[in-house]
Amino acid sequence: MKLKTIGIVGAGAMGSGIAQVAAQAGCKVIITDNFAESLLNSQKLIRSNLQKLVEKGKIEAPFAEEIINNISWTDSLADLATSDLVIEAIIEEISIKKKLFAEIELIVSSNCILASNTSSLSITAIASACKLSERVIGIHFFNPAPIMDLVEIIPAIQTQQNITDLILQVITSWKKTVVLAKDTPGFIVNRIARPYYSEALRIMEEGIANIETIDYAMTQLGGFKMGPFALMDFIGHDVNFRVTESVFQSFYFEPRYKPSFAQKRLFEAGWFGKKTGKGFYDYTQPSELQIDTDISKIKYIYERILIMLINEAVDALHWQISSKNDIDLAMQKGVNYPKGLLKWADELGIAHCVSLMDGLYEEYHEDRYRCSPLLRKKALLCETFY
């Protein structure tokens, strides 16, 4: 079965980005949205993206026009009737998504695959809204979709294996790197990445170091492209805080994912980061960075955040969320980590990783700092991940 016609519900930045990717791959794409302004903005965004690619010499002008001609915009869900695959990219509210999927199912053929681009909500719950729940799957692109290489594929427990296999093939043919994830909160990337933010926030809230010093430690010593506070500001606290809160609640209030009051206050103030001009940093006026370059402090910050990330990655492998190769690939391609976390654990030494985790637990005696059973097992058996 070939998926020639792709329906996209939601004409925002994500929906438009996915539409551009599919149209570039030669598919006919139908973008639908309730708001005329969103549809107009979508057209402007895609045209602008393609014009930049032409100017950079990455595509020829006739091909850019061909891509545009592959896309149509509509305010009617009924126009999705001919779709072979519909991808939903709307607000992260489970009740709204379930209602939408029930509506779409009445419009499309029984062979049409229905997918959600949710970053953290249950695909199984969304699929339950459909009579043919076996054709529902998660296809999670990262923003901006035309640029970010990674796509997480998440089957619901109802999803038929042949649907999963087909979607893996199709998204790969769209020139994306695909990883397969179990349907658990946050999937791979948004689950494993949580400590990059939460542990940095914890260090700041304890008064160990300020935001500039923490960002400096992770970029200069860790090799991360952006520090945690700069990255949270870039993502936007309206998005980042909501994902943290969703993962925390969905994991039955697991302490490792506990949100921060410091970020909650920014969220409540509407200080979402770069998009609003203020977040942890003030983007409305130039300011001098106050960085503490004490080597021992910088090393402590780097090791503490890194070991929490490693422990989270190991725990995801322990619970069979994904394969070790897909976990490392996802973190490199999805959030641009300098290397895979399981590979990083091998380089640091598994016994050293256990020692760092046990040191944090001895200091705090909080369940948040418990060492993953798999990490401890690897140390006892003197094994590595690769």
CATH 3.40.50.720 placement within the chain: 5-180
Work out the pLDDT band at 286, boundaries 50, 70, 90: confident
pLDDT average, residue stretch 323-329: 98
262 exposure class (CB count in 10 Å sphere: 0-12, 13-18, 19+)? middle
pLDDT value at 89 more than 90: yes
Q: Are 199 and 304 in contact (CB under 8 A)?
A: yes
Beta bridge partners of 5: 28
- Confidence at residue 249, expressed as pLDDT on a 0 to 100 scale: 93
Within its chain, how far is the Cα of 221 from the centroid?
24
pLDDT average, residue stretch 182-204: 97
- What is d(CA 152, CA 117) in angstroms, rounded to the nearest whole number? 9
What is the number of residues in the chain? 386
- What is d(CA 355, CA 369) in angstroms, rounded to the nearest whole number? 12
- What is d(CA 97, CA 120) in angstroms, rounded to the nearest whole number? 13
pLDDT value at 131 more than 90: yes
pLDDT value at 293 more than 80: yes
Percent of the chain with pLDDT over 90: 96
Q: Where in the sequence numbering do the catalytic residues fall?
A: 119, 140, 152, 190
- 3-class secondary-structure state, position 113: strand
pLDDT value at 167 more than 90: yes
CATH 1.10.1040.50 placement within the chain: 190-380
Residue carrying structure tokens 């705090």: 364
pLDDT value at 223 more than 80: yes
Residues near 189 by Cβ (< 8 Å), separated by ≥ 6?
142, 150, 152, 330, 331, 334, 335
Q: Are 332 and 224 in contact (CB under 8 A)?
A: no
Enter the tokens of residue 51.
């014009």
pLDDT value at 278 more than 70: yes
- Confidence at residue 1, expressed as pLDDT on a 0 to 100 scale: 65
Which CATH architecture group holds 190-380? Answer: Orthogonal Bundle (1.10)
What average pLDDT does the structure give for the chain? 97
Work out the pLDDT band at 216, boundaries 50, 70, 90: very high
pLDDT average, residue stretch 329-358: 97
Q: Are 28 and 70 in contact (CB under 8 A)?
A: yes
CATH code: domain 5-180 is: 3.40.50.720
